[in-house]
Chains A and B, each alone.
Chain A
C-alpha cells in the first residue's frame, strides 16, 4: 500500500505534527544520526564523507586505470585510505597512493611533413635501465669525444611529436585529522607528501568550519601551503635554450599558498547548497622542464631548432564554485558550476551534473556529465617564429591553450553488506580545440596543431567499514 495522502483531517494533521516534533526531540536526545527520511545532507554523507560513521573505521581502496588515446599516457593508480572515526567525532585519515605512468607525452614541438629527430639528455649510463631502445623507441648515443650520453628519438612525418621514453612512478602519503572543538566548530589539519623520480611535493593544510543556525549553515575557511621541488636528472633548463644532450641546470622550487572560504547551507530537506571562493598564489619555477617549442622558418614553417619553454614565475588564481546536492525522489543529484580566472590569462568554466539512482536498495547507478571550456594563457604559442624577437614567456602545452572538454561517465555500486560497497566507474574524456589556427605559417597550415588528449578511465573501488 503506498501512502497516498489526500487532504488530511484535523486529528491526523495535529498528530503528524506533534509526532514529528516528539521524535525529532528524541532523536536529538539519543544523539544518533538524524532520523527520518533521507535528506540532501544525509545523501551527502552517504555518498561522500564518512564523518557520520561515528565509531567506525572505514577502509577505501580503489584502482584507477587511465589510458589516453593514440598510445599516449597510461596510468595505473592504486589508492588505500583508512578513516578512523572516534565516538566523539574526531576523524583521523591516512592514505597512500602510488602511480605508475608510462607511454608517450607530447614534447611540445609542432608536427611537420618530414620526420623530426629530437636529442635530449639521457640518464648517466649507470641508470639507463629505464630507457631502452626496444620499448622506448629511442636510441642512446654517446656523443663522440665528449662522454656525453644523449637520447635520440625520431617522430614520423605529419604526426604529433611525442616522447615515448617516458615512465614514472609516484608515491604519495596523506594524513588528515579533524576534531570537534566544540559542538559547532570543527578544526582540521592535514599534511601530504609525494615523491617521484624528478619531483617532490609537500603540503600542509589547516581549516575551521563553524555550524550555526541549528546546523543549517556551515561556514568554512582553510589555508593551504605547498612546496614543490622540480629536479630532472639534467637540471631545469634555461628558458629558450636550444634542446641538447648537454643540458645542465639547477634544481628549482615553487611555493603555493591558497585560501578557501565557503558556506554550506541546508536550503530545505531536499537541497544542500555550497558556495566556495578560493584564491591562491604560486611563486617559483612553474615551467615544464621537458617541454620544448619548435622555432620555425618564417616562410616555410619548417622546424629550425627546438627551444625549451618558459613560463612566468608568478601565478594568481581565483575561482568561484557553486555546488548543489538534491534529493529528487529516490535519487541524489549533484549539480555544480565553477568559474576560474588566473593572472596568466586563462578563464575557464566547468559545469557538472550527476545523479545517483538506486535500482534496488543494494544497487545503484550514477550517470555523470561534465563540460569544461577555457581560454588560452597569454603566452601560449603553437610554435615560435625565427627572426622575430623571442617573447618573454612561451609554452605550447595544450593545457595552457584554448580548448573544451566533455566527460561522460557511469558509476555502478553494489552494497555487499550495509557497510561494504563495491563500485565500478567508467569515464570517457574528450578534448576539442582549434586544430588549424588561422595564420599558420607555410606547411604548418596543413598540420593538426592541437595536441589535446582524449582518454578513457576505469576505477574499481571497494569500501568497507567496521566497528
Chain B
C-alpha cells in the first residue's frame, strides 16, 4: 500500500488550503481523514469517530492480537466457535469471494508465512516444506455454518486482507452521515471519498513509488469512490537469480510468477477496489489481461 502520507505519531489536526486533516496511526499504518471544512471542532470530532472505528476494527479482526475472536477461532483446535453478526458477515463475504476468485482469495493462506519469510534473503523454503504445510491451507477445509466456524487443528484465518478496506468503507459511511462537507478517508493508502470536493473539485492522490519510499510515481484524481494499491515492493526473496514475490498462491503454496510491481484500482467502494487489486496481483503475469477483461479502472507498474 503506497499512497504517500506524512503522518505525525500522535493524532493531530493540520490545515491545507481546502480544509483540515486529522491524522492518526492505526492498523500499523498512517491514517488520515481530510474534510473540506475549517470547522476544527467538527473535523476533530469526525477524526475521532474515524480513529475509534479504525481501532475497533483493528482490535476485532487483527490476527496479531492474542485476545480477540480471531485468536479464539485460530486456537480452537478443531472446536466450533460462535461469531457475532459483523464477523459472520465478513466471513460470508470471504466465503463468497473464495468461490468467485476460484480459490485465489483465501483467508486461510496466512499459515504459508510460517515458511515464507520475505526479508530480502535467499531463504526459499523447500518443496517438502511447502507440501507439508499445504494441508493447513484451503477455505474448503473450513466448516462454516453461520454463526459457527470450525477450523481443522493448526489452520488459521486472517481477515486482514479485507479488514482495512472494510474499515475505510464503514468509516466513510459513518462520516458522510454526519457531515455534508466533502470527506476523504485514507487508512494506510486505501482510500475512499464521499464525493467531489467543494466546487466539484477532484481529490488529488499521489501514487508512491514502489521502490523508493516517499517518492511519488504518479498523480491520480478522483471525485467519487475509492482507490487502493497492491504492490510487490520491497518484500521478496532472491535465490539463484530468481525473484520470489511475496504474493503467494494459496492453491500451490508458491509465489505467483511475475506480478506487476504495483496495481492501483479505482472502484465505488474500497472493498471492491482492494479485492480487485489483490486479485490482479494474484494473476501474476496475467494481471493486466485480467484487469482489462474486468473493465477495471486500473493503473499498473511493471
Contact = CB atoms under 8 A, between A and B. Distances in A.
Interface of A: 1-3, 5-12, 14-16, 18-20, 22-23, 25-27, 29-30, 32-36, 46, 360-362, 415, 417-419
A33 B220 contact: no
A29 B37 contact: no
B220 A1 contact: yes
Pairs A-B, 9 closest by C-beta atoms: A9-B294, A35-B173, A33-B177, A32-B177, A418-B179, A418-B180, A360-B199, A14-B100, A19-B271
Contacts of A8: 294-295
A417 B181 CA distance: 8
Contacts of A30: 170, 173-174
Contacts of B266: 1, 3
B30 to A, nearest CB: 24
Given A26-B89, A417-B39, A1 B221 contact: yes
B182 A18 contact: no
B223 interface: yes
Interface of B: 36-37, 39, 42, 85-86, 89-90, 92-93, 96-97, 100-101, 166, 169-170, 173-174, 176-177, 179-182, 195-200, 202, 220-225, 266-269, 271-272, 275-276, 279, 293-297
30 contacts: A1-B202, A1-B297, A8-B294, A11-B100, A11-B294, A12-B294, A14-B96, A19-B271, A19-B272, A22-B90, A22-B92, A23-B169, A25-B89, A26-B86, A30-B173, A30-B174, A32-B173, A33-B177, A34-B177, A35-B173, A35-B176, A361-B181, A361-B195, A361-B197, A362-B199, A417-B39, A417-B42, A417-B181, A418-B42, A418-B179
A14 B102 CA distance: 13
Given A1-B221, A361-B182, A12 B296 contact: yes
Nearest to A36: B173
Given A22-B93, A46-B180, A361-B182, 12 more contacts: A1-B266, A3-B224, A3-B225, A14-B100, A19-B268, A19-B272, A20-B269, A22-B92, A27-B173, A29-B85, A361-B198, A418-B179
Contact of B198 (A3, A12, A46, A360): A360
Nearest to B38: A417
A14 B200 CA distance: 30
A418 B202 CA distance: 19
A30 to B, nearest CB: 6
A282 B34 CA distance: 57
Given A9-B294, A26-B89, A361 B200 contact: yes
B37 A11 contact: no
Contacts of B85: 29
A450 to B, nearest CB: 46
A11 B39 contact: no
B269 A23 contact: yes
B38 to A, nearest CB: 9
A35 B169 CA distance: 10
B196 A15 contact: no
B88 to A, nearest CB: 10
B20 to A, nearest CB: 12
A12 B294 CA distance: 6
A18 B170 contact: no
Contacts of B294: 8-12
B222 A1 contact: yes
A87 to B, nearest CB: 13
A318 to B, nearest CB: 40
A34 B97 CA distance: 25
A15 B290 CA distance: 15
B97 A18 contact: yes
A16 B268 contact: yes
Nearest to A363: B199
Nearest to B181: A418
Contacts of B295: 5-9, 12
B197 A22 contact: no
Contacts of B42: 417-419
Contact of A418 (B39, B97, B170): B39
Contacts of A16: 267-268, 272
A418 B177 contact: no
Contacts of B199: 360-362
A11 B42 CA distance: 39
A28 to B, nearest CB: 10
B270 to A, nearest CB: 9
A22 B177 contact: no
B276 A3 contact: no
A417 B179 CA distance: 9
Contacts of B198: 360-362
Nearest to B102: A11
Contacts of A11: 100-101, 276, 279, 294
Nearest to B223: A2
Given A30-B174, A361-B180, A22 B89 contact: yes
Contacts of B39: 417-418
Contacts of A361: 36, 180-182, 195-200
